[in-house]
A and B are shown apart, each in its own frame.
Chain A
Amino acid sequence: MTTSNSLVYLIALPLLGATILLLAGRRADKWGHLLGTLMSASSFGVGLYQLSQMLSRSNEARPVTQKLFEWISVGTFNVDAGLLLDQLSICFVLLITGVGTLIHIYSISYMSHDHDRRRFFAYLNLFIAAMLLLVLGNSYLNLYVGWEGVGLASYLLIGFWNQKPAYATASKKAFVMNRIGDMGLSFAIMIAFATIGTVSFEGIKEHAHHTSTGALTAIGIMLLVAATGKSAQFPLQAWLGDAMAGPTPVSALIHAATMVTAGVYLITRSNFIFDAAPTAQLLVVIVGAITLLFGALIGTAKDDIKKALAASTMSQIGYMILGAGLGPVGYAFAIMHLLTHGFFKAGMFLGAGSVMHGMNDEVNMRKYGALRKFMPITFVTFGLGYLAILGVPPFAGFYSKDMIIETAFNSGGTKGIILGVVTLLGAGITAFYMTRVMILTFTGKSRWDAEAHPHESPILMWLPMAILAVGSVSSGFLLSRGDALVNWLAPLFEHHGEHEELLAPIVVSGLALAMVAIGVAVAFLKYSRQEVAAVAPENVSVFTKIARQDLMQDSFNEAVFMRPGQLLTSALVKTDEHVIDGAVRGVAQLALGSGSVLRGVQSGFVRSYAALILIGAALLIAAIWVVI
């Protein structure tokens, strides 16, 4: 294990930026965005330096650690605040700081009319620092600090325009649903401490072999709960659509490229737990499979361009979770899809932001149309992302998504066939709704509002989009060339024998492309051959109506959790008022009542007191007389 002193700068630089920007206040309004971008970029620089150092070492010596300070030391329980940079973290570090820096640059222009731009950059820097801590922590407890930090940053950024009550509510919803997941993580840490006695990755990995399967399954399920919360997976997925209330760069960075993929990181990082707990691993796969269809179905009905992309994010993360649940063969592909998705989805979100920028912040795709001629650069970059997410060769998604589909088919038995069909179906639906987004936004006739004057965005906005588009085109090819990423990550995972192949890769690719072609064709027939109504039609099938309402996820949560919760609270309030307050008031009443009775004795007349004393004394003497 190599040690290094420079890891901390990865986190310290953006954290310093956030601190300065938040403390300096309005004084920093003129240069705040520049400082924020600089801090993010220098963190990226440190990341590149670390990568170059790592490449120059042999496979076993690649992980780097740095002990910051002794954090908790109680008896045999010791937790150091320490950082760990290995082959897995470096992928995330470069994704977070790289895409993060591009989005900082984009935001300089996108947020230029907002008088709170400095605060926005402070939060962005805070997010980068927290996310880096999440992926660099060397124990679950350190990871937890970053995990909470990104939750906070996400809350602050979703509610950045909290002067609108709906946006403030959206941020609250995201925070509360995330808290449910966070509870899972804290339970996992507690169970790990109680059964294994340590919470560091290294320690748990060492002891995982002789820990009971039951304990590992419990830890695994709790980690899965955490992942579903942060990554918007079923059943804690409902917050992601509303999270689109935040500024579009936030949606691109936090709710597409990085934070929502933290669940995938958590599961991949905990591979030693999931490999030893098949039940938990199966649950991971089921959650992934459900969510990838769930998100895709929501995506087909959304008219809001950002919400359609959010549903797509949910679905794509479903693919990653599914891949991560397939065990050692799937981890690397999950991470590969995560990286390529980071490029193309962030690019598409920035494209959506660019469209909104030119269309007076209109998000309804039914009011777009024919923007191809007015925003050629946005069209091209968005289009490249579109081809990437569809999985058209040789774009990025072709390499990463097809690998997950192939691994799903080859996972063996009935499970493999079901998963394979689900992932293929997901690919088809993805093609349908993404084609729908493309057609509604960029082609056909214009359905704009009267005051819309679409125009191409300035260079600070289209340059990051262009760079991400290059990534969407090339990242898949580069990462899978000679199994580069798989071999890079291989030392982290335990290897099992090769699985038998149910279907040859070429067959899987063919099937996937056929599904994509069907999806595209259906969307083309439905939205390009027919006129698109500028107002969403009402006379639609019941399925469309349900999909428009996010497959009733909010109604379900409301009926199952919120209403009973409200009943419970009101019952508790009634109990408090009547039983607890009643008892307290009763005691007071008793004292008051007996007091007013006894008060009659205190007449204020000296003679009556004297008579009472006399009678009392007489009675006392009589009593003594009788007793003796």
Chain B
Amino acid sequence: MDAANYLYLSALLFTIGAVGVVVRRNAIVVFMCIELMLNAANLAFVTFSRINGDLNGQVVAFFTMVVAACEVVVGLAIIVTIYRSRRSASVDDASLLKR
């Protein structure tokens, strides 16, 4: 199969994620969309690795996974804390710094 198809899929997933981040209010959904974008990027890295025939892209993909895992830990903790104190997970409500 043509490797370019994987890149098209990656671009599609990234676009879905980006649109999700911009349009959705629920923090959990926004968070999932961010994960989707990260994985779209991972898919692109792995594809390039295959196209070029070396392992650099795969190595970067592992790094991305580690970063994503850390991000999940910190991000979810923040979201849970905000939910506990404010009884809401809407990102638009969390604009206290501005006021």
Contact = CB atoms under 8 A, between A and B. Distances in A.
User: Are A and B interaction partners?
Assistant: yes
Interface residues of A, number: 9
A614 interface: yes
A604 B21 contact: no
Nearest to B99: A604
B30 to A, nearest CB: 8
A624 interface: no
B22 A603 contact: no
Interface stretch (A165-173, A357-365, A605-613): A605-613
B22 A610 contact: yes
B74 interface: no
A607 B92 contact: yes
A541 interface: no
A604 B95 contact: yes
A257 B98 CA distance: 81
Contacts of A614: 18, 21-22
Given A604-B98, A604-B99, A610 B92 contact: no
B91 A607 contact: yes
Task: Determine chain B's interface SS by DSSP, over half rule.
Answer: loop
Contact of B21 (A603, A605, A607): A607
B97 interface: yes
Interface string B3-28: 00000000000000010011101000
11 contacts: A602-B98, A603-B98, A606-B94, A607-B21, A607-B22, A607-B30, A607-B91, A607-B92, A611-B22, A614-B21, A614-B22
Contacts of A607: 21-23, 25, 30, 91-92
A82 to B, nearest CB: 75
A476 B65 CA distance: 116
B44 to A, nearest CB: 14
Contact of A605 (B18, B23, B92): B92
Interface of A: 602-607, 610-611, 614
B4 to A, nearest CB: 18
A480 B96 CA distance: 102
B13 to A, nearest CB: 15
B81 to A, nearest CB: 16
B18 A603 contact: no
Contacts of B30: 606-607
Nearest to B22: A611
A605 B92 CA distance: 6
Given A603-B95, A604-B99, A607-B21, 4 more contacts: A604-B98, A606-B92, A607-B22, A614-B22
B22 A606 contact: no
Contacts of B95: 603-606
Contacts of A602: 98
A605 B91 CA distance: 7
Nearest to A612: B22
A604 B21 CA distance: 16
Contacts of B99: 604
Nearest to B25: A607
Interface in B24-44: 25, 30
Contact of B91 (A603, A606, A611): A606
Contacts of A604: 95-99
Contacts of B94: 606
